[in-house]
Each structure stands twice: as C-alpha cells, then as structure tokens.
C-alpha cells in the first residue's frame, strides 16, 4: 500500500515536472536548456544498447537515427544529403605513387633528392605543385614556447622560407616537451613558412603513420592528419583498421593512408630528411651539420641561423589510387535565421556523436569481464545532447538573424573524420560559416575536482578572431550565474595540444574562427566507466546555455566576427577580454 501510494505520488510529481518542462521548452530560448531532457537523451545515447557508438557500427546508426528523430520533433530542418538529416562521409584508403623530389642548390652546386632517397614526402602530399624557397632558415629545435621562455623564432623571420630543425627538443626544467614535437610543422606554417624539413625519426609520432608518412609533423593546411596524441587517439592515419565492428577486419587493404579529405588540396611540403641531405644543405654554412646534430642530440643550445646561398625547389608530384571506400554519416540540421540577407550565413554548432565502441579482446586486468562497453557518456555524449538542447532552444524559440547549422560528427575518435569531411565537402559553403562552436566533453569536473564545478575550459577562441573571444566573454558575463572561463589549455605550451584534438580544428585549419568548450579529462576517460550516472547535468545545461548565448550573439551581428589572426594569447596568465590591438 505504502509503496503503491509512493509510486502514485512519484508518478504525479514527474507528470507535473514533465508538464512544466514541456511548457518552458515550448517557449524555446535559453530557458529551455534544462537538465531533464539532457538526462533523458543521454540515458539512451550512452546506454549499453548502443555498444559504445563506434564508427561503422550498428550502435552509431541507432544514435544517428535517435538524433534525427529529435530534430524532426523540434522542427529543425534537415541539412544533409538530398533533403535528409544525414551527410554521408566517405572514408578512403589511398595508395600513392610518388614522383616527388627536392632540388637543392648550394653555392651554385645542384643536387636532386628523389622521394625515398634521402628525403621522404608524406604519402598524402596534396596536388601537384612546385614550391620554391629562396630563403632557408635553420630554426634550432623549431619550437615556439613563449610561456616556457623558449622561442626558436624570437629572432627569426620564417615568412616565405623553408624551415629546418633538428633534435627532439631543448631541455626545459620540469616540462615534457616530447608531446609538443608533433606540432613543429604547424608552428612553422603559422609563422609563414612555405615548407619544412625535419630529420627522420624525430617528432613525436610513429603511431598510425603507415607508409612512411610523417603523420606527427602534419602541415596546417590539413590534408594530412594532425598529431596523434599519446594514448588517446591511437589510430591516426590507420583509422578504422581492424577496430570498428563489422568493418571487415583484415579483409581490405587501406593503401598508404586513410583520408576523408580532397586529394587535390594544395599542401605545403613537410618532408623528413636523412643525414646525406642535411650534409649537402649545410655544406656552405659556417656550421657543420655533424656538430649541430651532436648538439641537438645532447639538448644543448641551438642558435637559429639563415643558411646563405641556398635555394630549394620542392616538386610535389604524386598519383593517388583509391583502394578502399567506407561510409559513415554526420547528422546535420538547420534552424533558419530571420534576416533575409544574413540567413544564408551560419553559426555552426559541432559535437561528435561517435565513441570508441567496446573492448573486443580480453578484459582489462582487474576489470569486469562483462563491462566492456565504453559508454562515452561524457565523451562526447555530453556535447551531443548539449547541442541538441541548443538546437531545440533555437528551433522553438526566437530566431537570430543568421542561420544555425548543427553537425553531429562521426569518426572523431578515429581521426576527426566527420569534421574533416565536412570541411572539404561542406553542406553549406565554408565562406558562409562565420564561426564554429564545438563542444566535446562538458559533463564532468576536470580530474573529478569538485572545485571545478563552475569552470569550463575554453580553447581557441582568440586565435583567429579576437572579436569572437570577446563575444564569448560578454555572453558569459551576461548570464545569471557566469561560469569561470579557464584558458589554460589554450596556451601553446600546453602539452595536451587540445586545440588540434577535436572537430573544431578541421574548421580552424580552413581559417574559420572557432570556440571550443571542454570540462577536462577525468579518470573514466575512454573507459567503460564513462557512464551517465556520473554526468553533472546542471553543468551540461550551464555550458550549453553559454554556447547558446555566444552563438545567438554571433548570429545577430551585422558583420562576421573579424578574422585578425593574432594567434593564442589567452592562456595560463592572460584571462578575460583581449584588446584587438594586443598581440
């Protein structure tokens, strides 16, 4: 009796709560972003039924269908292929036949090094082109780490130059620079280099890169993969090989590299070279290569220098044969803006709805053999339902001037596949996307530290558009209870390299201003214990409200956020708004 009455009153209360929730949801807007629906959606999306949502799996398909059903329910328009909510992502295994070479002129003497003989081009080297560098600069260790008081570029102009570096990084007290080595090409290209040359076997890589592609030294022009972070992404260029259920493990040949991107992109050359090449390159220099190599190996100071009377010609030339094709899908929805002129421009909201699937082999030592599913409630179930709540808020509430484009990316965990695809084959013209707001993991406290309850990590907001950074700061300040915005992971010296590690990077590398929200790594990251019961739904709601408000403000601007490209400034020490003149 008692339990029955209890049950009855519980039912009544929940019906009342549901009615109230539905009422405020009907009005849409920020007020509709609430814990209740977030919990309901995530409970399904992170359930064992979806088997960890691995790319190419049945579980991912169920998740895609669920998201699309919700979009239809909210009145969000389909933004995918042929009037559907789905954008097919084509994942190709490609074999390369290279005819590339580098010609070196030193004091009038000329030698040509063919790809594979003294010099190695990435297997995905982009479209045929010739890149001439009249200036060649030696940038020491090739690292620009201002907050660690080490900057090889401090007195070096890399603009228009081919940049050369040696070694595995300088000795810096108490800092593990190893994980930053993979970003050296990106640093050089950001500083205006036209090509990079690094020694074979340096750089933090070797994982994933099959066929000799220096995957860890990927250029910024994004036709190659970004650095694969230690222990997390795992697969890199060999994406999907033998890890997705039902992907025909072992049956197909992936070729030399796996990509979702166009093969006719122009990619600045990022080559690796052997001693023979460097000896000739430095032959007219006052520094002997053997000495520099030795200094680099023992982590002594390396002075940057311009190599005089040296000219390099990179002949990029390769044929690509697609030897394997697989399909996965992004889920895409659009809420149209109210302004007749501005509504063909967009604010893109992104999250990834895939996760790492389940453990096929023996259970983890000491782990529960029956618990092998990585539920991915936080990663990135939280972002998935976060932008779902934002989509509903806009679809059922007031419309800003610009349109809102929502993309649930597939294949993030296997190499940012969905976002790279959409950045190369976009559902709307890239030129019409004024900003990207990406959310990946917003449901926990960093390291489970309760002091982080009101904190969100913000990455990338200042790098391309100072204005976007300041809009996000203002949006936060306008909220009833502002969050603490922490920029620590935006510091270029941060070894986690978060800026390159989620889908926003695919768009940022095309020059689109981005802001990334993240609440940090925790002990359940990429484990079966990343479950819905540990999610802090008030926090998911709070961060989603900020994402809503920032996007709403950008969508109502009469101009696109100014792209002043001043690079990262917010960091460990710099917080709050940034003057547009501030470098």
Question: By the criterion CB under 5 A, which residues form the site for Zn ion?
Answer: 379-380, 440
In the complex, the smallest distance separating the C-beta of residue 57 from Zn ion, rounded to whole angstroms, is 16
In the complex, the smallest distance separating the C-beta of residue 440 from Zn ion, rounded to whole angstroms, is 4
CA distance 404 to 129: 37
Peptide bond into 380 cis (omega under 30): yes
**At CA 474, angle to CA 468 and CA 480, rounded to 5?**
140
Nearest to 403 by CA among 512, 560, 562, 555: 555
- The nearer residue to Zn ion, 152 or 440, going by C-beta atoms, is 440
- The nearer residue to Zn ion, 307 or 457, going by C-beta atoms, is 457
- The nearer residue to Zn ion, 501 or 542, going by C-beta atoms, is 501
Q: Which two tokens stand for residue 315?
A: 């002949």
In the complex, the smallest distance separating the C-beta of residue 118 from Zn ion, rounded to whole angstroms, is 40
Host H or E run for residue 473: helix 466-477
Report the DSSP pairing between strands 162-164 and 136-138: parallel
- The nearer residue to Zn ion, 230 or 428, going by C-beta atoms, is 230
User: Using an 8 Å Cβ cutoff, are 263 and 421 in contact?
Assistant: no
- The nearer residue to Zn ion, 380 or 473, going by C-beta atoms, is 380
Q: HSE of 247 in the Cβ direction (CA atoms, 13 Å)?
A: 23
Q: Which two tokens stand for residue 229?
A: 């972070």
- The nearer residue to Zn ion, 380 or 467, going by C-beta atoms, is 380
- The nearer residue to Zn ion, 380 or 488, going by C-beta atoms, is 380
In the complex, the smallest distance separating the C-beta of residue 330 from Zn ion, rounded to whole angstroms, is 15
CA distance 347 to 402: 7
Question: CB neighbours (10 Å) of residue 454?
Answer: 12
CA distance 344 to 347: 10
CA 530 to centroid of chain Cα atoms? 21
Q: HSE of 490 in the Cβ direction (CA atoms, 13 Å)?
A: 28
- Identify any residues that bridge with 484 across adjacent strands, giving them in sequence order: 455
Host H or E run for residue 93: strand 86-98
CA distance 125 to 236: 16
- The nearer residue to Zn ion, 320 or 518, going by C-beta atoms, is 518
In the complex, the smallest distance separating the C-beta of residue 380 from Zn ion, rounded to whole angstroms, is 4
- The nearer residue to Zn ion, 34 or 243, going by C-beta atoms, is 243
In the complex, the smallest distance separating the C-beta of residue 357 from Zn ion, rounded to whole angstroms, is 13
In the complex, the smallest distance separating the C-beta of residue 264 from Zn ion, rounded to whole angstroms, is 30
Give CA separation, 227 vs 176, 234, 434, 492, in Å.
16, 10, 26, 14
CA distance 12 to 4: 12
In the complex, the smallest distance separating the C-beta of residue 379 from Zn ion, rounded to whole angstroms, is 4
In the complex, the smallest distance separating the C-beta of residue 522 from Zn ion, rounded to whole angstroms, is 12
């Amino acid at each position: 009796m008692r339990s029955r009455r209890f049950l009855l009153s519980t039912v009544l209360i929940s019906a009342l709560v549901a009615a109230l929730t539905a009422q405020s949801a009907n009005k849409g807007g920020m007020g509709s972003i609430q814990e209740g629906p977030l919990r309901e959606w995530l409970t399904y999306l992170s359930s064992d039924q979806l088997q960890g949502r691995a790319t190419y799996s049945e579980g991912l398909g169920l998740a895609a269908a669920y998201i699309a059903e919700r979009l239809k329910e909210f009145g969000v328009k389909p933004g995918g292929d042929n009037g559907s909510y789905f954008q097919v992502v084509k994942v190709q295994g490609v074999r390369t036949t290279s005819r590339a070479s580098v010609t070196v002129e030193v004091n009038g003497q000329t030698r040509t090094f063919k790809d594979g003989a003294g010099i190695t081009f990435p297997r995905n080297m982009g479209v045929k082109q010739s890149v001439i560098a009249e200036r060649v600069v030696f940038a020491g260790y090739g690292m620009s780490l201002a907050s660690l008081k080490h900057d090889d570029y401090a007195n070096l102009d890399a603009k228009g130059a081919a940049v050369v570096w040696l070694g595995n990084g300088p000795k810096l007290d108490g800092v593990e620079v190893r994980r930053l080595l993979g970003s050296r090409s990106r640093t050089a290209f950001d500083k205006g280099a036209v090509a990079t040359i690094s020694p074979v076997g340096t750089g933090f890589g070797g994982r994933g890169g099959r066929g000799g592609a220096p995957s860890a030294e990927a250029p910024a022009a994004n036709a190659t993969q970004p650095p694969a972070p230690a222990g997390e992404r795992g697969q890199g260029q060999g994406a999907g090989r033998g890890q997705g259920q039902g992907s025909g493990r072992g049956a197909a040949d992936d070729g030399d590299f796996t990509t979702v991107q166009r093969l006719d992109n122009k990619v600045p050359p990022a080559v690796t070279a052997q001693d023979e090449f460097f000896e000739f390159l430095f032959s007219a220099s006052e520094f002997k290569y053997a000495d520099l190599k030795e200094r680099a190996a023992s982590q002594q100071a390396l002075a940057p220098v311009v190599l005089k009377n040296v000219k390099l010609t990179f002949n990029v030339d390769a044929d690509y044969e697609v030897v394997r094709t697989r399909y996965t899908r992004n889920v895409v929805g659009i809420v149209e803006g109210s302004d007749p002129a501005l509504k063909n421009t967009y604010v893109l909201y992104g999250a990834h709805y895939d996760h790492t699937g389940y453990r096929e082999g023996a259970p983890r030592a000491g782990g529960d053999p029956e618990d092998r599913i990585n539920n991915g409630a936080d990663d990135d179930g939280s972002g998935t339902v976060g932008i779902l709540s934002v989509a509903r808020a806009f679809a059922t509430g007031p419309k800003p001037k610009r349109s809102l484009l929502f993309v649930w990316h597939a294949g993030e965990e296997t190499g940012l596949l969905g976002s790279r695809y959409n950045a190369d084959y976009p559902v709307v013209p890239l030129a019409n996307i004024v900003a990207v707001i990406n959310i990946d993991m917003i449901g926990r406290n960093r390291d489970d530290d309760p002091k982080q309850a009101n904190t969100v990590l913000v990455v990338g907001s200042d790098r391309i558009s100072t204005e976007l950074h300041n809009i996000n700061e203002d949006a936060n300040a306008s909220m009833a209870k502002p969050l603490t915005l922490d920029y620590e992971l935006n510091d270029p010296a941060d070894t986690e390299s978060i800026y390159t590690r989620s889908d926003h990077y695919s768009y940022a590398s095309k020059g689109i201003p981005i802001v990334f929200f993240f609440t940090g790594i925790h002990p359940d990251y990429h484990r079966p214990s990343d479950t819905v019961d540990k999610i802090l739904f008030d926090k998911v709601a709070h961060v989603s409200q900020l994402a809503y408000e920032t996007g709403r403000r950008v969508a109502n601007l009469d101009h696109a956020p100014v792209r002043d490209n001043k690079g990262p400034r917010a960091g460990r020490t710099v917080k709050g708004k940034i003057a547009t003149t501030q470098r």
